[in-house]
Structure 1
Amino acid sequence: MVREGSSIDKALAVLEAVAERHRLTDIAAAAGVSKSTAHRILQSLVEWGFARPDGSGGYEPGPRILTLAARAMNRFDPARQAAAALRALHDRTGYTTHLAIRNGDEAVYVEKLEGRRPYQMTSRVGMSLCLHSTAIGKAILAQLGDEEVLGIAARTRLEPRTPNTITSDEDLLAHLAGVRARGYAVDDEENEPGVRCVAAPVFDHTGRVIGGISVSALALDASREDLEALGPEVVAAAREASQALGAPLTVRS
């Protein structure tokens, strides 16, 4: 099917196709343009350095794409990119919302919006989070392979934070399977007594999990059922944040 639209639309479609395909026929098909149009656009992209011949009769991304990507990544701020999704979730729920980014065997809060409740959460930007005992942490772990999860568990020793903390490898893996199936994780007073949270994973432009978004409340203000009911909203917010970070639309969150 030939793509309708401006010459700019067609050029961008061809540029995107070059990132994943190299044969002219495949590039044209993916971009939805004729082979002659694709060839003409590719010649311009080569002249500008956005594409180059791959030595086998096809094309590959050119050095100028890498230069622009590097410049963009240097200015990339996950908190700023995800701000709209976090704010919308905060406004809809009225609870405290967080964005945390994974940092090795832990996660770190990079944004917090205090809820419209008669209390304040003790969390703060810059605070580190255990992965096995927090909702955001478990949302992250659920997107990793079992071997990587067990490596983290061995290094952190699954230290108990409260009587509800998961402290065995077997229980953790079984729990994460449920998180993966639901799309969100719940911290039912597992990290801090009297605090409950629900979280969903956030992905970057490569489709790799980099952190999570959460809603937090005091246990006396929100039951586990209350937070479970917010799960789909948190998943939707995390998906919106992931898309703002350039995550592929096929990523499951």
Structure 2
Amino acid sequence: MAGEAPQSAADKTLSVLEALADHTRIADIAATSGLPKATVHRILQTLVRHGFARTDGTGRYTGGPRILSLAGRFLQRLDIAEQVRPILRELQERSGWTVHLALLSGDEAVYVAKLEAALPYHLASRVGMSLGLHCTSIGKAILATLPDDEVRGIAARTGLAARTERTITDADALLAELATVRERGYAEDHEENEPGVRAVGAAVFDHTGEVLGALSAAALFPVTSENPELPRLVTDAAAEVSRALGKS
């Protein structure tokens, strides 16, 4: 149609993936996606190499194991968030702050739940958003459970980018901060990720005792007043979430 922007490579790949859910033959996938057969064949070969599709050698294609793996991981995140939502809700109500739950994903964490506080503003965070480990209370709570050499490896890979003028951007300084986090059992974010936003976070663990992620309570200052009970509320909630996930 005139005026429509040309499809990007990502658009074409997604079109083939969607068609692959209902069709197995290149001709049918091409008809559904609106792409030439040669383009479809090329994309399918790429998907096969990366495990997102597979072929039986007779010209038929189906979804590959990596699709199921990714779907399972996303569903697990959603299941965990729903399983512990009453605990998060109680923390939100008792603290009066916005509560987040994020799960570790590689060298970052991803929000899987957010419960807004009844305040005259909303924080910019959202479910599905990734966050840095070095500049957030959730991230520092997670890092504090890891050996120093592993933290240094993450720091080297991510670069410890400055999000605000308060962000810790030096690996030695970060390790010193994490030592404090381990000692007191919770992490703090004093406008290190977003100007004006402060947060308290604590790690959560799965049934094997491995760190799974962390939860936090966050608020905008100076609009919100200090809450001296917040560290205890957050650490108690994190411990309850861990127990709900099977940690003894």
TM-score for both structures, normalised by structure 1: 0.66
Q: Is the 8 A contact 1:140 1:201 kept in 2?
A: yes
Counterpart-to-counterpart distance in 2, 1:240 and 1:124: 23
Aligned residues: 174
- Assess, with a 3 A threshold, how the Cα gap between structure 1 residues 166 and 75 changes in structure 2: closer, same or farther: closer
- Deviation (angstroms), 1:228: 5.6
- Assess, with a 3 A threshold, how the Cα gap between structure 1 residues 188 and 108 changes in structure 2: closer, same or farther: same
Kindly report which structure 2 residues correspond to 1:2-151, keeping only aligned pairs within 5 A, or say none.
Answer: 77-151=79-153
SS at match of 1:246: coil
- Assess, with a 3 A threshold, how the Cα gap between structure 1 residues 125 and 205 changes in structure 2: closer, same or farther: same
- Deviation (angstroms), 1:83: 1.1
Gaps of 5+ in 1: 1-72, 249-253
- Assess, with a 3 A threshold, how the Cα gap between structure 1 residues 178 and 147 changes in structure 2: closer, same or farther: same
Counterpart-to-counterpart distance in 2, 1:85 and 1:177: 27
- Assess, with a 3 A threshold, how the Cα gap between structure 1 residues 112 and 75 changes in structure 2: closer, same or farther: closer
Aligned to 1:38: none
Counterpart-to-counterpart distance in 2, 1:193 and 1:180: 25
Counterpart-to-counterpart distance in 1, 2:74 and 2:132: 28
Q: Is the 8 A contact 2:95 2:227 kept in 1?
A: no
SS at match of 2:142: helix
RMSD of aligned C-alpha atoms? 1.7
Aligned to 2:159: 157
Aligned to 1:243: 243
- Deviation (angstroms), 1:222: 3.6
Deviations 1:66-87 (A, max 9, x none): xxxxxxx998521122212101
- Assess, with a 3 A threshold, how the Cα gap between structure 1 residues 182 and 156 changes in structure 2: closer, same or farther: same
Name the aligned partner's letter for residue 244 of structure 1.
A
SS at match of 1:201: strand
Deviations 1:168-192 (A, max 9, x none): 1110000000001111101000001
The partner residue of 2:175 within 173, 176, 182 is 173
- Assess, with a 3 A threshold, how the Cα gap between structure 1 residues 172 and 201 changes in structure 2: closer, same or farther: same
Aligned to 2:59: none
Counterpart-to-counterpart distance in 2, 1:74 and 1:134: 22
* Mean CA deviation greater in 227-236 or 180-189: 227-236
Q: Which runs of 4+ in 1 moved over 4 A?
A: 73-76
TM-score for both structures, normalised by structure 2: 0.67
